[in-house]
Amino acid sequence: MRIPGFAAGLGAVIGAVLAFVGSAIFMLVAAVLVFSDDPPTPELMRSPEFMKTIMENYAIVGASVVGTAAALVGVPLIVAKLTRTSIKEGLGFRGAPLVTFVVGPIGILALGPTSEQLVSLMKWLLPNATFNALESIAALVNAHPAWMLWPIIALSPGIAEEVFFRGLVQRSAGFGWRAIVISGVSFSFFHMDPHHVAGVLPLGFYLAWLGARTGTTLVPIVAHIVNNSAALLAAKIVDVESMADETMPIWVMPIGWVIAGVCIYVIWRSTKDRARWIGPAGEPDAALDPRKKSLSPDWRIVRVTGAHEEVLGYVRGAVATEGAEVHGRFQPGPAWEELSRFVAELDAPVGSEAHREAHEALAGFTVQDLQSGQSLPRAAFRVTGERVRFRALPAGTDDATTSRDATSSNVPLGEAAPASAGPTSDGGA
């Protein structure tokens, strides 16, 4: 399920504008508070020294970062809410193979030398085409300890920018190269300063590919935070001014490319099951079928235990039938590999050990509408190959009635009920 393209585009424009406006307003308010006891004169405010003082002041810069982050995170959440899109699916707050969270950050660090070389090239080609953003960051890093800087240099940008660019902008455009280019370029140009834009560009493309391949925004968030944290740590260990004057040898770049290539290959191998990791947002027909406006096309079979969530699979292109059943295509979820054999064992005779084991293993699963987030109190579902069907069951149905109702068709349906309802004689989830 994606956020509709027009809504996402409009939200992206509004969000970008609000990010700059919010940054300026928060920065202005903080500056007024900081200089309230000793207001600067108009002449002093026009001097380069005063601007340097502003950019080194932690409270002022921190307020600016908060204003930017509020817009970059708030707008996508509002757009998802207004379009009745699942925040989890629409913005990509999904799981991914553990190895991607480890290898993804290594890949972006390996591209660091390339980023440095591009910044050096821009400084050589267009030395005056800059707002001195990188120099301002260096002055800020020199003025404060790393533990104070980490929230505003690594944590906040890593979360906010990825939610906006990889969540709102990229996922609404899909998972192909077009979406990667849009996301990578827009992310890079958001940094405004031409020198900074050049350095961010390869990192933006890598983060965009990472989001497209893993099907989640969480992996790019981790990679972004790790990259900025490493840059902050390096600036603290090595003198910032010497770092600005010296660039890594050009021969380091190919080594970084090899490392990044290995990381990309590992991530590619670990996410070969595209339907499983991308989920409903990867489907081209994720929009509501106009012929069935009363029925959401996207459902999932899920079991929630406290804060833990297991997704058995997704129902795609759901269509209601005259028999009160809903039919659709089945997409395996992260829990399918572990539990699929129990789904197959629902065909075993009622009362057999295999049927009982399947019933116990699948107890607690329910069918949930991804559009509204609401779950059916009781439902029966059946997965047959690439097809799935389910239907709501009346509340308070006893075991015998449930068993007859769930097996009344040619192929029995597995029982789906909330965990609090307990197991039933039909043995499904």
pLDDT score, position 322 = 64
Residue 232 located in a structural domain: yes
* Statement to judge: residues 273 and 293 lie in one domain: no
* Statement to judge: residues 314 and 251 lie in one domain: no
pLDDT score, position 18 = 96
pLDDT score, position 46 = 80
* Statement to judge: residues 243 and 223 lie in one domain: yes
* Statement to judge: residues 275 and 299 lie in one domain: no
pLDDT score, position 400 = 31
pLDDT digits (tens, 9 = 90+) for 232-242: 999 888 765 55
Helix extents (H) in 363-416: 399-406
Q: Taking all residues of the chain, what is their mean pLDDT, rounded to a whole number?
A: 83
- Residue type at position 349: P
Least confident of 26-30, 104-108, 326-330, 347-351: 347-351
Residue 429 located in a structural domain: no
pLDDT digits (tens, 9 = 90+) for 290-299: 344 457 888 9
The pTM assigned to this predicted structure is 0.68
Last residue in a domain, options 279, 299, 331: 279
Last residue in a domain, options 242, 262, 279: 279
Residue 81 located in a structural domain: yes
* Statement to judge: residues 297 and 392 lie in one domain: yes
Spell out the residues 6+ positions from residue 26 whose beta carbon is closer than 8 angstroms to its own. Answer: 63, 64, 66, 67
Q: In the predicted model, is pLDDT for residue 219 greater than 90?
A: yes
* Statement to judge: residues 227 and 106 lie in one domain: yes
* Statement to judge: residues 414 and 274 lie in one domain: no
Domain span holding position 380: 288-421
DSSP 3-state of 184 = helix
Last residue in a domain, options 236, 251, 279: 279
Percent of the chain with pLDDT over 90: 47
Residue 426 located in a structural domain: no
Q: How many domains does the chain have?
A: 2
* Statement to judge: residues 294 and 265 lie in one domain: no
Q: In the predicted model, is pLDDT for residue 416 greater than 60?
A: no
Taking residues 344-364, what's their average pLDDT?
84
Residue 428 located in a structural domain: no
pLDDT digits (tens, 9 = 90+) for 150-178: 999 999 999 999 999 999 999 988 888 99
* Statement to judge: residues 300 and 260 lie in one domain: no
* Statement to judge: residues 227 and 296 lie in one domain: no
Residue 325 located in a structural domain: yes
What is the dihedral sign for C-alpha 298, 303, 308, 310? negative
* Statement to judge: residues 308 and 266 lie in one domain: no
Spell out the residues 6+ positions from residue 63 whose beta carbon is closer than 8 angstroms to its own. Answer: 26, 27, 29, 30
Residue 350 located in a structural domain: yes
Contact (Cβ atoms closer than 8 angstroms) between residue 424 and residue 414: no
pLDDT digits (tens, 9 = 90+) for 268-298: 999 887 666 666 666 544 333 334 445 788 8
Residue 376 located in a structural domain: yes
Least confident of 184-198, 229-243, 414-428: 414-428
* Statement to judge: residues 127 and 19 lie in one domain: yes
CA 189 to CA 378: how far, in whole Å? 50
